[in-house]
Chain A
Amino acid sequence: MLRFILMRILQAVPVLFVIASLTFFMVRLAPGGPFTEEKTIPKEIQERIEKHYGLDQPLWKQYLNYMGNLVRGDLGPSFKYPDFTVGELIRRSFPVSLQLGLAALVIALALGLPAGIIAALQKNTLLDYLPMSTAMMGICLPTFVMGPLLILIFSSALGWFSPLGWYTWSDMILPSLTLGLYYAAYIARLTRGGMLEVLNQDFIRTARAKGASESRVVLKHSLKGGLLPVVSFLGPAFAGLISGSFIIETIFFIPGLGRFFVTAAFNRDYTMVIGTVLFYATLIILLNLLVDIIQAWLNPRTRLE
């Protein structure tokens, strides 16, 4: 087990190296630069700025410099926020995105799991059709429609929440609901499918034949196996929550990392773009590892070798 985890972490190093190089050359090959402005600035000033950030050196030398700093854990200064390093910007904005993502995940699990379990137990009744068609609608209703609709209802019409910003805890409700409902729909469908598969197995019939109570059959015997598809969905879901947060943060004007990333790419803030991509990649690799470990714990047949 420990060996498996170590191997995966070691494998991640070359992957991250390739990502860093790929992103580096991708942003550099793109037209435009961080200091190309609408209004032209005097040539000497432009050259001074570029020299200050080492942009006057040949590309391969810049690449080696960047990689050298990266090995020491230095992501460099931001080109667009001159007083901050990329590391500082990530440290400031990521907690906001993390709060949003965790709240959304809690909502998704709290709504999706019970809905899926009930639908599976009451198969082909109203209690199955109703939550499942709602879930299907949830999947087809994108967050960027749901978000404005929720704002329209709960802040414009009812005035319960403020439509934008991230100041008090009540500001968290609409954004995390928008993001969470979408994943609740997915989780409900997967839970239903997984539970149905397990409930048809012989050992469930045996448990029932022994006279085990319904709650014991569900909680003790089927839940662990039935949740497997949900757990394997969590890997992609984390990645989805991250990209979903780009949209939510744009709709609700939340100062999270997602908005910083999109703005940085538009501004050609080279170091900020590479730093953010690396940060996200590391995060996703670690979360996938976590998902694999949980999966092995739930299902001993998937051995970690």
Chain B
Amino acid sequence: MTSIHPTEGASLWRDAWRRLARNRMAVFGFVVFTLITLACFGTYGYLWATGGMDATGGKLSQNFLPPSGSHFFGTDDHGRDVFVRVLVGGCISLAVGFLATAVSLVIGVTYGSIAGYLGGRADAFLMRIVDILYALPFVIFVILLMVLFGRNFILMFIAIGAVEWLTMARIVRAQVMALKNTEFVEAARALGYSDMRIIFVHLLPNMLGPIIVYASLTVPAVMMLEAVLSFLGLGVPPPMSSWGVLIKDGAEKIDVYPWLLIFPAIFFSLTLFSLNFIGDGLRDALDPKSSKD
């Protein structure tokens, strides 16, 4: 803290923001992530607006060109520009990452807050189910679902989201348990508000910190799961592609055409890298007690 202004009230969010802005790795992660996201969706939007989606089709006579001035990342087996493919594929990876996290967020927050708010036997029962689900080979079920019901973008993020909500439910439950006996909840109850209103209007804003922190760390985990599925041949169906699909295709030709693996892998790892730094930074900023430094 460089200076103290006695007139300026300190709020949780302002303090958190200051701590985050001082965290060099988190700022770096944020800058890198923003650049990659803008590049991906910008390219996608540009191609879509100009009807140039087919421009990625390329010419067969120009296949497997190494990186050069006209094709920064070289071309692939169909003569398509790898640079454009990586940027467009990034949109799918990022979209799956965020949509699946949103699904897990909705399920986890609802489930966790209901269990925590009800307490007692209902809570014990609901959380026992979570304990049991924790012990299951869930990835196997996601693989099974994708194999059996086909490669499908929507099924993919719903299946991943349905797997990733357990920890979120536990975190939210603990928060609700801690908050539900405070005076402001009692006041809301005395005013005759419904339980649902108390949970979502009164309690939820007070536990945003841990929720944001955990959600930000879920995004890279989900993107990794998407890539794993793609690698097993269960990614988004062609002609769509994602970083996972590109990495899979590249890995098969690595000894002859290494650029097909290296560039998607760099983008994928860099994105995960920056997302993890953002998540760590958010944790240090919003939840200083739980940070391990």
| Interface residues, chain A, with chain B CB atoms under 8 Å away | 11, 15, 19, 23, 26-27, 29-31, 123, 136-137, 139-142, 144-145, 147-149, 151-152, 156, 192-194, 196-197, 235, 239, 242-243, 246-247, 250-251, 261-262, 265-266, 273, 277, 280-281, 284-285, 288
Contacts and interface: CB of A to CB of B under 8 A. Distances in A.
A243 B232 CA distance: 11
A279 to B, nearest CB: 10
A284 B136 contact: yes
Interface string B224-235: 100110011000
Contact of B137 (A123, A136, A152, A281): A281
B87 to A, nearest CB: 19
A30 B148 contact: yes
B47 interface: no
Q: Which 6 residue pairs of A and B lie closest in terms of their CB atoms, listed nearest first? A: A30-B148, A193-B292, A140-B272, A265-B147, A243-B139, A148-B251
B136 A250 contact: no
Contacts of A284: 135-137
B136 A262 contact: no
B255 A152 contact: yes
A140 B292 contact: no
B292 A148 contact: no
Contacts, number: 117
A150 B145 CA distance: 31
Tier of interface size on chain B: 35 or more
B137 A23 contact: no
Given A140-B272, A265-B148, A284-B137, A148 B254 contact: yes
Contacts of B228: 142, 144, 243, 247
B269 A145 contact: yes
Contacts of B251: 144-145, 147-148, 251
Contacts of B258: 152
Contacts of B138: 239
Given A30-B149, A140-B269, A144-B247, A239 B144 contact: no
Q: Which of B265, B268, B292 has the most CB of A within 10 A?
A: B292
Interface of B: 132, 134-141, 143-145, 147-150, 220, 224, 227-228, 231-232, 247-248, 251, 254-255, 258, 261, 265, 268-270, 272-273, 276-277, 292-293
19 contacts: A15-B132, A15-B135, A26-B145, A26-B148, A27-B148, A142-B265, A144-B231, A145-B268, A147-B251, A148-B254, A148-B261, A192-B292, A235-B135, A242-B140, A261-B140, A261-B143, A262-B232, A277-B140, A285-B135
Given A152-B255, A250-B231, A288 B143 contact: no
A33 to B, nearest CB: 11
Given A140-B276, A145-B268, A148-B251, 13 more contacts: A15-B135, A136-B273, A142-B268, A142-B269, A144-B231, A145-B265, A156-B255, A235-B135, A246-B232, A261-B143, A265-B148, A277-B144, A280-B137
Contacts of B132: 11, 15
Contacts of B150: 31
A238 B33 CA distance: 31
A89 to B, nearest CB: 16
B226 to A, nearest CB: 11
A277 B247 contact: no
Given A136-B273, A246-B232, A280 B268 contact: no
Nearest to B142: A243
Contact of A26 (B135, B139, B144): B144
Contacts of A156: 255
A52 B144 CA distance: 26
Given A15-B135, A148-B254, A262 B273 contact: no
A266 B232 CA distance: 11
B194 to A, nearest CB: 34
B257 to A, nearest CB: 12
A288 B132 CA distance: 10
B104 to A, nearest CB: 16
B269 A144 contact: no
A269 B196 CA distance: 46
A197 B232 CA distance: 39
A242 B137 contact: yes
B261 A145 contact: yes
Given A15-B132, A152-B254, A281-B136, A142 B224 contact: yes
Nearest to A15: B132
A136 B273 CA distance: 7
Contact of A19 (B134, B136, B254, B261): B136
A31 B265 CA distance: 34
A196 B293 contact: yes
A141 B266 CA distance: 9
Nearest to B293: A196
A180 B52 CA distance: 43
A48 B135 CA distance: 40
A239 B135 CA distance: 9
B113 to A, nearest CB: 24
Nearest to B269: A140
Contacts of A31: 148-150
Contacts of A136: 273, 276-277
B276 A139 contact: yes
Nearest to B224: A142
B144 A23 contact: yes
Nearest to A283: B137
Contacts of A239: 137-139
A284 B277 CA distance: 31
